[in-house]
Amino acid sequence: MTSEELHIEFEEAVERINSFKEPYPADLLLRLYAYFKKASNDYRRPSSSKPIINAFKTNALFQVKDVTQDEAKRIYIDLVNNYFLYRK
């Protein structure tokens, strides 16, 4: 898969997640958050008004620190696909 094809598939996965209206499990949201930030090279600090949320987000980002941008896109796509494949 080319880098451009990967980016298109990543954008489609982001749209799929954003358009779904039911709540997601918190652990999935944290993983999606971390891989999205890494995939989009967004290094801004978490900005929740609740310190505990920022702590969880910071921890999630720390866990993906050694993942490349393309790997992050692939993992994000896999998370989305698996969620919709196996959700109840």
Phi, psi for 48 (deg, rounded to 5):
-70, 155
pTM of structure:
0.90
Residue 43 has pLDDT above 90, yes or no: no
Which range (9-23, 48-62, 72-86) has the least confidence?
A: 48-62
Q: What is the mean pLDDT of residues 67-86?
A: 96
Q: Specify the pLDDT at position 44.
A: 82
All structural domains of the chain, each given as residue ranges with its CATH number in brackets, are: 3-86 (1.20.80.10)
DSSP structure string for the chain: --HHHHHHHHHHHHHHHHH--SPPPHHHHHHHHHHHHHHTT--PPP--SSHHHHHHHHHHHHHTTT--HHHHHHHHHHHHHHHHHH--
Q: Does residue 88 have a pLDDT over 70? A: no
